[in-house]
């Protein structure tokens, strides 16, 4: 259940902002009209100077000293949330932080909900919605590339691109609306305004943006790749090689792996969740059968399936048995080339790559890695390419916008319909940056944050 009850409340909120557990430093953050008075009572500092750190004592209501640390005050509107904000930087002990938080709550603050500080920053125009999402993305990023992309979004790269397109779109809409006031001349006006060329150009920019956003989303969320194949073909050897540790048991007994084995690795900065599965074969062993059923379910949920083979002839079996659906992203891999002295190489089988490797001897693995990246259009990830973190919600909005613009281009003879499609596209664009958003969407986005952020 999404809890969005905080959306219309501006009482003072507080939370422990650092991660649970012990640490060198622990931070309590307070935001709202009572933040300064509450901090003054706890620290006895008479005047908290904004944007200065003050070494202070922190005590309970009855005067019991609890810790010494730094007191930081940020007067509205120059703060993260845009409200008065105070932070206590204390020693990072859970009991200490909890005790002091209770003191803060007793003095009138209420416990902040997950994402509530960032939500207030959004409401007070400190961040737009994509930037607020980037705050969460930067915290959740699992690779350096994901961090950099989220930082680009936080800086406003994504929002700026959307806002520029939004401006162009509004210009065209206004022009058409103005033309509609002079019906006799309307077609002429539309031509004069080069409406077609302008809409096409926005649509192209949306398509380009979608490409970048898709890459950003993959880098942020990663994807699941499963290793399948007959027993003993070398799946577990391969996952161990990728993960650089023995996550799966390797033996020469067919049917060794039963439960799926997972390993998260970073390939060129992209988080990939590898899953090694039970080998697929006809069997009467109930345990092994259950493992094979799991394999099929994992194939369904994977963005890419790597099928390990002893030889090329096996491919036909997989295709005949319908284990892999047609639209699956597949890489065929012939393993154990060391036994036949075949060279590591990449060819293809129909539209899918066929890679020759030896998992045991680490031959051709670089080729395989490259094919994995290629299957997501990420092989030539240019270090200078400016990406940003993006989410499914953004990709869906871009798709919708593209659809509306496409419709508009098909209705150029009827300017009022073009104007309508452009208005729909405009609303969809604004939903990305949060200018027009429903409470449900906001609740959904902010409640996924951690507490204290």
Ligand X SMILES: Nc1nc2c(ncn2[C@@H]2O[C@H](COP(=O)(O)OP(=O)(O)OP(=O)(O)O)[C@@H](O)[C@H]2O)c(=O)[nH]1
Q: Which residues bind Mg ion (CB under 5 A)?
A: 235-236, 256-257
Contact indicator for 277, 231 with CB cutoff of 8 Å: no
Q: Which is nearer to ligand X, 94 or 260 (CB)?
A: 260
Q: Which is nearer to ligand X, 147 or 308 (CB)?
A: 308
| Nearest-approach distance from CB 225 to Mg ion, in angstroms | 16
Q: Is 257 in the site for ligand X (CB under 6 A)?
A: yes
Q: Which is nearer to ligand X, 133 or 276 (CB)?
A: 276
Per partner kind, with CB cut-offs from 5 to 8 A, the member of ligand X, Mg ion, none near residue 2 is none
Q: Which of 335, 390, 402, 431 binds ligand X (CB under 6 A)?
A: 335
CB neighbours of residue 417 within 10 Å: 14
Per CB under 6 A, the segment of 42-50, 70-78, 181-189, 232-240 that binds ligand X is 232-240
Residues 6 or more apart whose CB falls under 8 angstroms from that of 11 comprise 32, 109, 110
Per partner kind, with CB cut-offs from 5 to 8 A, the member of Mg ion, ligand X, none near residue 325 is none
| Nearest-approach distance from CB 228 to ligand X, in angstroms | 9
Q: Which is nearer to ligand X, 284 or 438 (CB)?
A: 284
Per partner kind, with CB cut-offs from 5 to 8 A, the member of ligand X, Mg ion, none near residue 18 is none
Closest CA to 446 of 18, 114, 155, 158: 114
Q: Which of 33, 183, 254, 410 binds ligand X (CB under 6 A)?
A: 254
Q: Is 234 in the site for ligand X (CB under 6 A)?
A: yes
Q: Which of 177, 314, 338, 444 binds ligand X (CB under 6 A)?
A: 338
Q: Is 287 in the site for ligand X (CB under 6 A)?
A: no
Per partner kind, with CB cut-offs from 5 to 8 A, the member of Mg ion, ligand X, none near residue 254 is ligand X
Per partner kind, with CB cut-offs from 5 to 8 A, the member of ligand X, Mg ion, none near residue 3 is none
Per partner kind, with CB cut-offs from 5 to 8 A, the member of ligand X, Mg ion, none near residue 251 is ligand X
Per partner kind, with CB cut-offs from 5 to 8 A, the member of Mg ion, ligand X, none near residue 215 is none
Contact indicator for 3, 439 with CB cutoff of 8 Å: no
Q: Rounded CA gap, 357 and 365, in Å?
A: 6
Instruction: Report the phi/psi class of residue 262: left, alpha or beta, with left for phi > 0 and alpha for psi in -120 to 50.
Output: beta
Q: What is the dihedral of CA 150, 156, 158, 159, to 10 degrees?
A: 140
Report the side by side order of strands in the sheet with 110-111.
53-59, 65-74, 85-92, 23-31, 13-16, 110-111
Per partner kind, with CB cut-offs from 5 to 8 A, the member of Mg ion, ligand X, none near residue 359 is ligand X
Q: Rounded CA gap, 136 and 150, in Å?
A: 9
Q: Is 73 in the site for ligand X (CB under 6 A)?
A: no
| Nearest-approach distance from CB 292 to Mg ion, in angstroms | 12
Residues 6 or more apart whose CB falls under 8 angstroms from that of 420 comprise none
Token pair of 311 as six digits: 């030889």
| Nearest-approach distance from CB 261 to Mg ion, in angstroms | 8
Per CB under 6 A, the segment of 24-32, 44-52, 133-141, 229-237 that binds ligand X is 229-237
Q: Which of 225, 292, 355, 359 binds ligand X (CB under 6 A)?
A: 359
| Nearest-approach distance from CB 293 to ligand X, in angstroms | 15
> Helix (H, G, I), strand (E, B), or coil: what is residue 216?
helix
Q: Rounded CA gap, 301 and 223, in Å?
A: 10
Q: Is 53 in the site for ligand X (CB under 6 A)?
A: no
**Residue 346's beta-bridge partner residues?**
355
Q: Which is nearer to ligand X, 75 or 294 (CB)?
A: 294
Please enumerate, as own/partner, the contacts of 82-85 that have beta carbons within 8 Å and a separation of 24 or more: 82/120, 82/121, 82/123, 82/124, 82/125, 82/126, 83/10, 83/31, 83/32, 83/33, 83/35, 83/120, 83/124, 84/31, 84/32, 84/33, 84/35, 84/36, 85/29, 85/30, 85/31, 85/35
Q: Which of residues 389-408 bind ligand X (CB under 6 A)?
A: none
Q: Is 251 in the site for ligand X (CB under 6 A)?
A: yes
| Nearest-approach distance from CB 290 to ligand X, in angstroms | 14
Token pair of 377 as six digits: 């259009």
Residue 284: DSSP 8-state: -
Q: Which of 236, 390, 402, 430 binds ligand X (CB under 6 A)?
A: 236
Q: Rounded CA gap, 127 and 79, in Å?
A: 12
Q: Tally the residues of the chain.
A: 453
Per partner kind, with CB cut-offs from 5 to 8 A, the member of ligand X, Mg ion, none near residue 385 is none
Q: Is 285 in the site for ligand X (CB under 6 A)?
A: no
Per CB under 6 A, the segment of 262-270, 333-341, 372-380, 400-408 that binds ligand X is 333-341
Where along the sequence are the contacts to ligand X (CB under 6 A)?
229, 231-237, 250-252, 254-257, 279, 335-336, 338-339, 358-361
């Amino acid at each position: 259940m999404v809890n969005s009850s905080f959306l219309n409340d501006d009482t003072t909120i507080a939370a422990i902002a650092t991660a649970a557990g012990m640490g060198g430093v622990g931070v309590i953050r307070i935001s709202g009209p009572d933040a300064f008075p509450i901090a003054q009572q706890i620290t006895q500092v008479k005047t908290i100077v904004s944007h200065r750190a003050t070494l202070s004592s922190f005590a309970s209501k009855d005067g019991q000293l609890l810790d010494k640390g730094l007191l930081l005050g940020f007067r509205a509107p120059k703060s993260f949330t845009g409200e008065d904000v105070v932070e206590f930087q204390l020693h990072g002990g859970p009991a200490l932080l909890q005790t002091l938080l209770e003191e803060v709550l007793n003095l009138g603050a209420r416990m902040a909900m997950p994402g509530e500080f960032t939500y207030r920053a959004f409401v007070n125009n400190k961040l737009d919605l994509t930037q607020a999402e980037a705050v969460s993305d930067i915290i959740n990023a699992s690779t350096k590339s994901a961090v950099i992309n989220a930082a680009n979004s936080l800086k406003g790269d994504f929002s700026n691109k959307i806002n520029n397109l939004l401006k162009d779109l509004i210009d065209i809409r206004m022009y058409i609306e103005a033309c509609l006031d002079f019906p006799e001349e309307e077609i002429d006006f539309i031509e004069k305004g080069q409406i077609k060329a302008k809409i096409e150009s926005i649509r192209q920019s949306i398509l380009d943006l979608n490409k970048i956003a898709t890459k950003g989303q993959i880098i942020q969320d990663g994807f699941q790749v499963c290793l399948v194949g007959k027993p003993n073909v070398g799946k577990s050897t391969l996952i161990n090689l990728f993960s650089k540790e023995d996550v799966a048991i390797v033996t020469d007994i067919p049917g060794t792996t039963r439960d799926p084995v997972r390993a998260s690795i970073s390939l060129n900065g992209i988080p990939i969740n590898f899953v090694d599965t039970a080998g697929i074969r006809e069997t009467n062993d109930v345990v092994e059968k259950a493992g094979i059923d799991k394999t099929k379910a994992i194939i369904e949920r994977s963005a890419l399936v790597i099928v390990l083979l002893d030889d090329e002839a096996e491919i036909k079996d997989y295709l005949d048995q319908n284990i892999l659906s047609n639209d699956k992203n597949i890489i065929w891999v012939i393993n154990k080339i060391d036994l036949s002295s075949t060279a590591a190489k990449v060819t293809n089988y129909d539209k899918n790559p066929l890679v020759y490797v030896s998992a045991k001897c680490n031959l051709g693995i670089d080729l395989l890695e490259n094919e994995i990246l290629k299957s997501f259009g990420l092989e030539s990830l240019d270090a200078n390419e400016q990406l940003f973190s993006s989410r499914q919600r953004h990709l869906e909005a871009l798709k919708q916008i593209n659809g509306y613009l496409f419709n508009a281009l098909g209705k150029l003879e009827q300017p009022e319909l073009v104007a309508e499609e452009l208005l729909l596209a405009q609303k969809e664009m604004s939903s990305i940056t949060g200018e027009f958003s429903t409470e449900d969407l906001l609740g959904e986005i902010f409640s996924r944050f951690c507490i204290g952020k």
